[in-house]
Structure 1
């Protein structure tokens, strides 16, 4: 059928507005019957392709799961509980039901979340907002050293609240894997201070952060918990705590409790929202100063006041890692009666030391898993009683010894035991104290190293599984060009099934007894699929070509992929990955520029040169948008926020976001005008929907900045308006836009019908009517682009203003890349998907992220909801973090569909090949991060650099896999090809 006839058919179909499957098939109409058969075949092929990508997803998740199980640390939790009966076994004597005579009858514990130590130390002449606002602890410690002790309180990473509360109540160390549960806390099962208090029938009152109620369900006799995750809310929790705290401290009510815990969150939330160097921090620290002034006035003489931060915060107000500012918290102990030995100023103690101190001061047994030692100043007293101090340090040391013995023989305690032996040989109390403290420190250090133990069998099987999936994926990519992808999938699938069964049956013989049946099945699936593919390769030679690039562009794609993957062999290159990726993108841009000069058509030649130069320029601009990680300092300047020590967006970012709303739709229209594709729904989607959506996004972030800067007046916030705007944008982009796009199936074309003398002269066209399809040259690409823009709008909303600017640059780069690939005739080359993968990483960094825990922008969980709502809140954070990955994944089919002739066959196959290439790039980079994280497992920086980068890559690969299977192929490309085929006919 010639173009004129197909144009007439398109006109007729558009006039009747038939959807997919629309119209009845006449028995005597072979054309329609063939079209129905082709449609059914297409649906089957699409379902099979989605299934293949889901299978790859399963292999990747399985391999990552196995490696993670062996790599991320997991401490064995002992269920032993310290009791009065166990006191004799460690050489202690009972005192009135406790391990030590009570020093205090009651205790008030005030937790000020993220209270960094330097927030409590005065600095003369400092202009920092966090200095000289919280003065009470230092003033009382200086004036009354027998009543007040102020320490630097060193936390063990990860510095997330839940893990710190575990350590602060059990006296043990959290492990890195615990960081993932920070916002889904589960009850503490090991022995802890709260359990010991309840065992002695002490009455506990709790106020504040609801993390405590998830850790200790049903433990509190008086409880007023508040939601802890809304980091934009500085006052609700603190006001609630104050509302109940002071009535409980009234003398008439102090008999209603023995322990009072109050956990304030305002300082932490001010840090997250603004950074520490902001007037809001001054206000919150001043408020805490006033609160503690009233508490000091109201507590009784027999009450110990304990004030501490669970962790600190970095220069942007974040925490989770192990930088000095994150682990440096403050601890203040106060008693109205003089009870303490004066201390040297600025002394540092470990947070695990608080547990044995409180336990013995309150007459409790020390929790069984404790690894701390008592704070000397509390037990020396006013007369420097070293005999008493030696007694309590001996109790703690022997408790640690008992715990170590119960934990297992894997602990190498040779050095530690020597200190214990020395303590037993001396009668000098001071020397005993020193040896017991050295013993405790030695055991603590051994445990820190011990809980960095790795399950090598699981790690190796995970890596092998990923290698197997990588091999099959590479074979599938090559098979799409040699028409052998079908046999490859069949062979690999059969091998996967056989391998799973074999490994499950003979796994014990192969030394895999440490793996569960399910883990053996995953490992066998990866191994078997690889073996099936290798077998297919041997049997099919030479029909099945080896896995090698087909041309120079393919070699460039391989070079860029392997170069990116190789940087994880060095901690320095890993730290500076945000600088490496733009160089790789610029390499592509420069080579595209050189190649454009070889284009034969003059107009296209200079257009290729222009787009290559624009691509390199945009890459450079985007690289200038960044958030620095600690290891990059001082050779880095953050530009993402309005300053180095804040998380507030700059006014220039808001102006830029407004310019994006104004100009970006026009830019997109210019690209579509080249092929006359700004037709049909394009003007409504781009000129109206996208423009209005971006305008609402700008208003949203302007209101948010107004709230941060109190432009609307002190205490006035626009939360309700912002929530409404966010819901409108998400509804417009995710729901309305995609429904209209997928079910409307209106292509970006226009059919023109006009009389033509030339057409009338033709014998086959007696009526002289000429039909032209405007937008025919890019009918696939223009329609798919509308789908991509829906995702672009939704993601832009959840990015900070500067991130929105970066995302607009990304979209411009995507459109420019499409032209570069088309003009150079390499739309089906592997270079397109690889460059898209590099863009995903480049804009991961330029949207304000790094391969570190503190860079996660948790506050975006509340962009459309007022409190934590599952699964919406986690999805918003994931979309904010991996927005660039999502958009580039959805863009992978575009190079194949851009300016593709509707008459071309095997469109779905080519889309599948491009998507597989894109996954292959991400899988290679992630596998490298996995391998080097395992290789450097004993490296000093493993938990600071290599482990976070591996976890970032693992989650990113999972997002990519799922988005390819379900969105890019299953929904986006499938709907696009179907919509075009309904008008122009299906092509096998």
Structure 2
């Protein structure tokens, strides 16, 4: 007994040491991949270099004009799409015909007002739009990521110019302005409000109104500011939460309409009013991309004096044809606001401006010609001071500028040539703008190639480590890898630091040198132990053998799926339809499974029938899940979006809350594992959490659709019910569910029992014992026999409870149809595990690939696409009203990547499902590591393919719309999958199950 206990302890100690070795090696693999992704991203998504030159009136080019207006009121209505502000005859949409004031003023007072379609430059995120609206420059794609971490603008802009010219700027509204322009705003007139809670429609808007009107009406306060900026957010937030076609959008637009009327009544004659949107919104209410609905915003300018002296020709050119929505409206770029407002207020034009003055704001062609020439000089000055040699040496632009200068000097006083000079100025500005757009992304091929090389090598290493080296050697080589990698990484740091100090490269930062040194050191560190033991020919043979390991028709199918999935990144059309391809691959696997099982006569008939039922379940669920989708703009009429919150989807949540535990219970019954912890989780915990989720989304649906208002209760009680009681109840539900599922349940799981039960049964007496009672008395009574129920699936049944815990949290953060999709994913996983066991696919290439495809299919079916607008920002505020780290971020991660998290958690079940206890736990651990790293390998290949083709198509028309967002998704997934697999799946999950089973059943 003592010897057995000692052996068990030794085995447990060996298991811990082996696991720790695996853990550290995989951590280093992940670090190498992160370094490769960072280098590729740095090379592909370079930020724009901004000259630190500030324009001033003493400059000959920038000599300031006499201000046309003494004051200006700039009101930004976030996401004010152009069709929100114009009449649309016969439309019953809530966002049409509810904000008429701008159009009415423009048609009734054309000499005092201007209404234009205001075209944004992508990406259409608020931070980047504010930069464009104040600097006149083009944003870079990577700046989209800083939308939630706004940095102070470090380039010339008209807010800075106001400050430099001793003008007082008052501000109220979206606190993004605070992050960008804090030092230029009058601290006594600065009223920022938190901007990212998209479920709050009124706090920011009410804050603007509370401070706006007193500053306009009170003469004493009015004298304290020169430019007043207000940024409303209600329209944008309603769009994010409900989409544009919701009754609250009508109410909000009506409110904005009334407030603009009040502002016009309160403003004086010397003030310019500017009302604009920073971007639009798509049909789902989101923005960030470059669809027409996201790009087309509104610009309205108004003065009580007759300052906009447009001639009849201009008025006619801007006539509106309401029957053709959005076709006959004059458009201007958002950057055109920058020179316009600067000239009207008597400020120098910001040095980096690329825009052109808006014609309608200047009373004659003579004045427009003067300001156009001034802007052309400023643009050329920007070109000559640019850090980009290509801009400076562009001969076509240089010749056009020289031609304009010579002709302006000769003909500027001749009215006959005024319009021609204006046209030449516009042509020069347009050509320069288009050329700058072509240089929008400047690629550093050295970084790109270095990142791709590191990622490719990481693929080779992890493939070699996980598959090619026999398991026994892997466990002993782990610490050889660790020592080599650490030593070489330190050496790389020292060498790179030395090179940096000696050479001091001007275009390379210290962190790049250090990261590069670490990356090269890791490559050498991984390579050395392999080359020390094995030849190159052996290595190539083993890598090739990975693809034909246990090769049969299923391996061939897996290889085909792998190749096709990697090749979709070679075509923008295939990237667009990736969701349908993933569903097709999975359905085809299920159909092939039916054929294979039905044709295998060696399998018992009962097993064949059960296998066919599992395959049918897999195919049907896959097909149902594929019907839930959020369409990309590029899919056009070929896709019908179905991802929306409806009454029947909420009702199905309640149905699912009852039936899903029963379905999982039926799978446990198949392996006789529904014992001990399983009933506690299924009957009580999981069902309770699902019911709470359904309750939450029921309240959310009722609140969104105004059900409580339709009950005809008193206004005060309805307000209390919706804004206090229901809101508090929803917050309580979400916090309880996430706390139980992520904290309490996981803690209980780590300390709880296995899904087994010891059954004692007395043997039935035989005929001999009945006829010979005396003999039985002499031999003594037969002892009852003990049977361990659930023994054959002790690893898998216990481990799957961990998957259920995270599934409950992910279902809460997913909208109703997304939660139903996640429920389907659980059924798909369990069905596949049974199919895998029946077809003996446990160590086949197809298994990790099917798991990866399940993650991708359910990513799309939970309402996501590889686009910025598809991010469901509103779920960030399920558990809190404001942004609060880490809760807001956890909600977003669970919502966007829930399917990948579940698949990463479930992948060890390929090895653990239907496996009885063994006295060789290290062998089981090695197999788990092998299948886990196979999933990493699959994602690494996808990332590598995506990176290569994105780099190849870096000048493609669709690079920023399709290829770049897809490569960014792959980069995020590569990091996420490594983190979840290493820290949660292996460290927390597999380690606990193997240790507990080995401790109890180890011999």
Distance 2:760 2:826 in 1: 35
CA RMSD of aligned residues (A): 2.4
Structure-2 residue corresponding to 1:816: 831
Structure-2 residue corresponding to 1:153: 118
Structure-1 residue corresponding to 2:402: 421
Q: How far 1:869 moved relative to its partner?
A: 0.5
Of residues 196, 208, 215 in structure 2, which corresponds to 1:248?
A: 215
Structure-2 residue corresponding to 1:572: 573
Structure-2 residue corresponding to 1:40: 13
Asked if the contact 2:287/2:869 (under 8 Å) is kept, the reply is yes
Structure-1 residue corresponding to 2:897: 882
Q: How far 1:282 moved relative to its partner?
A: 1.4
2:638 counterpart SS class = coil
Structure-2 residue corresponding to 1:180: 145
Q: How far 1:488 moved relative to its partner?
A: 6.5
Structure-1 residue corresponding to 2:322: none
Of residues 262, 267, 270 in structure 2, which corresponds to 1:294?
A: 262
Structure-1 residue corresponding to 2:280: 312
Asked if the contact 1:413/1:446 (under 8 Å) is kept, the reply is no
Q: How far 1:721 moved relative to its partner?
A: 0.7
Q: How far 1:758 moved relative to its partner?
A: 7.6
Structure-2 residue corresponding to 1:139: 104
Note the 1:197-208 alignment, pairs <5 A: 197-208=162-173
Q: How far 1:48 moved relative to its partner?
A: 1.4
Q: How far 1:546 moved relative to its partner?
A: 4.2
Structure-1 residue corresponding to 2:350: 367
Decide which moves more: 880-889 or 610-619: 610-619
2:75 counterpart SS class = strand
Q: Write out per-residue CA displacement over residues 287-333 of structure 1, whole angstroms, 9 at most, x where no aligned residue.
A: 11111011111110000000000000011111000111101000000
Q: How far 1:45 moved relative to its partner?
A: 1.3
Distance 1:436 1:341 in 2: 21
Asked if the contact 1:112/1:264 (under 8 Å) is kept, the reply is yes
Structure-1 residue corresponding to 2:338: 355
2:285 counterpart SS class = coil
Distance 1:846 1:104, change over 3 A: same
Of residues 196, 200, 206 in structure 2, which corresponds to 1:239?
A: 206
Is 1:449 aligned to 2:438, yes or no?
yes
Figure out how many residues of one structure are paired with residues of the other and give that number.
939
Distance 1:451 1:497, change over 3 A: farther
Distance 1:542 1:186, change over 3 A: closer
Distance 2:562 2:487 in 1: 32
Distance 2:374 2:863 in 1: 49
Q: How far 1:392 moved relative to its partner?
A: 1.4
Of residues 359, 384, 402 in structure 2, which corresponds to 1:376?
A: 359
Distance 2:646 2:86 in 1: 30
Distance 1:762 1:64 in 2: 78
Distance 1:797 1:480 in 2: 42
Distance 1:318 1:583, change over 3 A: same
Structure-2 residue corresponding to 1:410: 390
Distance 1:762 1:74, change over 3 A: farther
Structure-2 residue corresponding to 1:590: 591
Is 1:270 aligned to 2:270, yes or no?
no
Q: How far 1:260 moved relative to its partner?
A: 0.7
Decide which moves more: 570-579 or 604-613: 604-613
Structure-1 residue corresponding to 2:929: 912
Q: How far 1:236 moved relative to its partner?
A: 1.5
Asked if the contact 2:492/2:521 (under 8 Å) is kept, the reply is no
Distance 1:431 1:387, change over 3 A: same
Of residues 638, 642, 649 in structure 1, which corresponds to 2:641?
A: 638
Is 1:846 aligned to 2:861, yes or no?
yes
Q: How far 1:883 moved relative to its partner?
A: 0.3
Distance 2:734 2:778 in 1: 60
Distance 2:1002 2:781 in 1: 26
Structure-2 residue corresponding to 1:625: 628
Q: How far 1:486 moved relative to its partner?
A: 4.3
Structure-2 residue corresponding to 1:863: 878
Structure-1 residue corresponding to 2:814: 799
2:301 counterpart SS class = strand
Give TM-score scaled by structure 1 length: 0.92
Note the 1:718-867 alignment, pairs <5 A: 718-744=726-752, 746-756=753-763, 768-867=783-882
Is 1:524 aligned to 2:520, yes or no?
yes
Asked if the contact 2:492/2:518 (under 8 Å) is kept, the reply is no
Of residues 60, 71, 80 in structure 2, which corresponds to 1:106?
A: 71
Asked if the contact 1:472/1:529 (under 8 Å) is kept, the reply is no
Structure-2 residue corresponding to 1:982: 999
Structure-1 residue corresponding to 2:414: none
Distance 1:425 1:533 in 2: 71
Of residues 339, 355, 361 in structure 1, which corresponds to 2:307?
A: 339
Asked if the contact 1:462/1:523 (under 8 Å) is kept, the reply is no
Is 1:656 aligned to 2:621, yes or no?
no
Decide which moves more: 44-53 or 100-109: 44-53
Asked if the contact 2:21/2:475 (under 8 Å) is kept, the reply is no
Asked if the contact 1:114/1:312 (under 8 Å) is kept, the reply is yes
Distance 1:792 1:503 in 2: 42
Asked if the contact 2:21/2:478 (under 8 Å) is kept, the reply is no
Distance 1:667 1:200, change over 3 A: same
Is 1:932 aligned to 2:949, yes or no?
yes
Q: How far 1:374 moved relative to its partner?
A: 1.4
Is 1:607 aligned to 2:610, yes or no?
yes
Q: How far 1:77 moved relative to its partner?
A: 1.6
1:206 counterpart SS class = strand
Structure-2 residue corresponding to 1:547: 544
Asked if the contact 2:23/2:987 (under 8 Å) is kept, the reply is yes
Decide which moves more: 689-698 or 557-566: 557-566
Q: Write out per-residue CA displacement over residues 499-528 of structure 1, whole angstroms, 9 at most, x where no aligned residue.
A: 654697488999998573223224414643
Q: How far 1:492 moved relative to its partner?
A: 5.8
Distance 1:387 1:372 in 2: 19
Asked if the contact 2:199/2:874 (under 8 Å) is kept, the reply is yes
Q: How far 1:712 moved relative to its partner?
A: 1.7
1:634 counterpart SS class = helix
Decide which moves more: 772-781 or 513-522: 513-522
Is 1:59 aligned to 2:32, yes or no?
yes
Distance 1:656 1:525, change over 3 A: farther
1:410 counterpart SS class = helix
Distance 1:248 1:503, change over 3 A: closer
Distance 1:561 1:607, change over 3 A: same
Q: How far 1:432 moved relative to its partner?
A: 2.1
Distance 1:923 1:734, change over 3 A: same
Distance 2:67 2:893 in 1: 49
Q: Write out per-residue CA displacement over residues 595-643 of structure 1, whole angstroms, 9 at most, x where no aligned residue.
A: 21325222112211221121111111111100000000111000111xx
Asked if the contact 1:229/1:868 (under 8 Å) is kept, the reply is yes
Note the 1:203-222 alignment, pairs <5 A: 203-221=168-186, 222=189
1:329 counterpart SS class = strand
Distance 1:438 1:831 in 2: 58
Gapped regions of structure 1 (runs ≥ 5): 1-27, 94-98, 642-648
Q: Write out per-residue CA displacement over residues 344-373 of structure 1, whole angstroms, 9 at most, x where no aligned residue.
A: 322111111111111111111111111112
Of residues 364, 375, 380 in structure 2, which corresponds to 1:401?
A: 380
Q: How far 1:430 moved relative to its partner?
A: 2.3
